[in-house]
Amino acid sequence: MKALRIDRNTGRFMLARLLSGFDTGSAAKMGPLTYGTADAPDLPGNGWHRVYPRLTGICGSDLATVEGHASTYFENWVSFPFVPGHEIVGQLDSGERVVIEPVLGHAARGHAMPFENAAPGDGDDYAHLALPPLEPGIQIGFCNSTGGGWATELVAHESQIHRIPDDMSDERAVLIEPLAGGIHAALLAIAHCTNVEEPVIAVQGAGTMGLCAVAGLRAFAPHARIIVGARYPTQMRLAKEFGATTVVKSSELARTVRHAVGCHIVGDYLSSGAHVTIDAVGNSDSIETSIKITRPRGRVVLMGMPADVTVDLTGLWHRETELKGAYTYGTETLPDGTKRRTFDIALELAATFRVERLLSATYPLGDYTDALRHAAEAGPRGAVKIAFDMRQDLSRQEKNR
């Protein structure tokens, strides 16, 4: 199979980190990522399927890995070499099209479920992610045993597979995974202000994840005032189309939140602020801003993967702000108390929000340097989501078979 692979090579990680400051394409070429042919992963056991990716998205966490910026936290939760890519719409041997819920949960790893019908992302003990029978890996795209979506083949467990209807395009389906992530963050935000008549929810960042969070907020909190800080015109337009009440430049977010709640400014902190802020950026500045614009005893939902950050947490301490991580999806408790799996919700909402609008460009795997460069520069180039397109490889494989 054709694949892009990440090897454990400290020197190349360092080089990628250095080069990424100038050009992501060069970082991709000279860093730990290599493109070539490789053996397809073995099926780990019963209940596993071969999946032939049709489209696979490039996520911010993938870029961080390629550019050597990912936190060392992951060293013990991934297994090298691995094929990146976890936003996958693919095809089974049977020809059915599927989207993959990439988290390698208890069912996939043959461990006891945390509760009946748990989703792969559920549970309060992550031991299974690092224990046999699979190599360590938090999800497909970071695990040596399964492969990932930046290849023409991978394996996935039945618990991770969501069959999609014929009328759902690949372009829409490839956005299901990030949409599920956005919905999860949105529900964490909404849960903090269930008794508020018109909650003010700020969203920092309007890349794919920020926009998907806006969709989730609009779907489950129609009464909320959603204020989005975005950097680029395309992002601003889409945030509005996805249901944001107000969209402003990132630099104006604090002023806008202040005005929405009618509070004062003390120093550079709002005296009150948003009930919840979803931080879809995840760097030092954005986290600090999130704390500054969230009201005392409010919640900051950290959706953007932060890595190493430097933040003055005095404000968080004084304001008793809750900092809540939002890694992924699982089983959600909706505002009406019912429980549903995030992916099922995403499969429904994808049509409502026509999420395929977010897919800006696709590249063949071989053009990975251009693809990654485009993904890294998506905002300024007026793009949102960039994906690899393996459909031509798949038709050739089918013909050969």
Partner 1 sequence: MPRPGFVLDVDKSTPPIMFWRGENFSLEKLPADRSRVIYAPEPHKPIDDIDAAIRHSLLNPIEMDPLPALLFPGMKLTIAFDDISLPLPKMTRPDIRQRIIEAVLDMAAEAGVDDVHILAALALHRRVTEDELRHQLGDRVYDAFAPRGLLYQHDAEDPDALALLGTTDHGEEVEINKRAAESDLLVYVNINLVAMDGGWKSTATGLASYRSLRHHHNTHTMQNSRSFMDAHKSELHKSNWRMGEIMRKHGPKIFQIETNINNDTFPDPFAFLSKREWEWNGRDRAKFVATQAALKRTPNRIARSIFHGIEAPHNMTSIQCGEVEAVHKVTTENVWKQQLVEVQGQTDILTMGIPFICPYNVNSIMNPILVMCTGLGYFFNLYRGKPLVREGGVVIMTHPTPNEFHPVHHPSYIDFFEQVLTETTVPHELEARFEKQFAEDDWYRHLYRTSYAYHGVHPFYMWYWGSHGMQHCGKVIIVGGDAPTVRRLGFTPASTLNDALEIASDVVGRSPTITHLHTPPLMVADVK
Residues near partner 1 (CB under 8 A) are 246-249, 252, 255-256, 258-259, 262-265
228 and 214 in contact (C-beta within 8 Å)? Answer: yes
Q: Rank residues 230 and 278 by Cβ distance to partner 1 and give the closer one.
A: 230
332 and 183 in contact (C-beta within 8 Å)? Answer: yes
CB of 272 to partner 1, least distance (A): 10
CB of 262 to partner 1, least distance (A): 5
What span, in angstroms and rounded, lies between the C-alpha atoms of 342 and 176? 10
Sign of CA dihedral 271, 273, 278, 281: negative
197 and 174 in contact (C-beta within 8 Å)? Answer: no
Angle between helices 208-220 and 233-241 (to 10 degrees): 20
149 and 140 in contact (C-beta within 8 Å)? Answer: yes
What span, in angstroms and rounded, lies between the C-alpha atoms of 93 and 233? 42
Q: Rank residues 258 and 373 by Cβ distance to partner 1 and give the closer one.
A: 258
CB of 248 to partner 1, least distance (A): 5
Q: Rank residues 146 and 246 by Cβ distance to partner 1 and give the closer one.
A: 246
Q: Rank residues 231 and 340 by Cβ distance to partner 1 and give the closer one.
A: 231
Q: Rank residues 255 and 357 by Cβ distance to partner 1 and give the closer one.
A: 255
Q: Rank residues 144 and 246 by Cβ distance to partner 1 and give the closer one.
A: 246
CB of 264 to partner 1, least distance (A): 5
CB of 279 to partner 1, least distance (A): 21
Q: Rank residues 251 and 352 by Cβ distance to partner 1 and give the closer one.
A: 251
> What is the pairing mode between strands 339-341 and 331-333?
antiparallel
CB of 379 to partner 1, least distance (A): 17
Phi, psi of 68 (to 5 degrees): 75, 25
CB of 246 to partner 1, least distance (A): 6
CA angle at residue 178 from 355 to 125, to 5 degrees?
155
CB of 35 to partner 1, least distance (A): 41
Q: Rank residues 223 and 339 by Cβ distance to partner 1 and give the closer one.
A: 223
91 and 97 in contact (C-beta within 8 Å)? Answer: yes
- Cα 269 to its chain centre, rounded Å, is 29
Compute the radius of gyration of the chain from its Cα atoms: 20
215 and 223 in contact (C-beta within 8 Å)? Answer: no
CB of 319 to partner 1, least distance (A): 18
What span, in angstroms and rounded, lies between the C-alpha atoms of 244 and 253? 13
Sign of CA dihedral 304, 323, 277, 347: positive
- Alpha-carbon distance values, 151 to 80, 104, 209, 333, 397 (Å): 15, 18, 23, 35, 13
Q: Rank residues 45 and 233 by Cβ distance to partner 1 and give the closer one.
A: 233
Please tell me whether the peptide bond between 81 and the residue prior to it is cis, using omega within 30 degrees of 0: yes
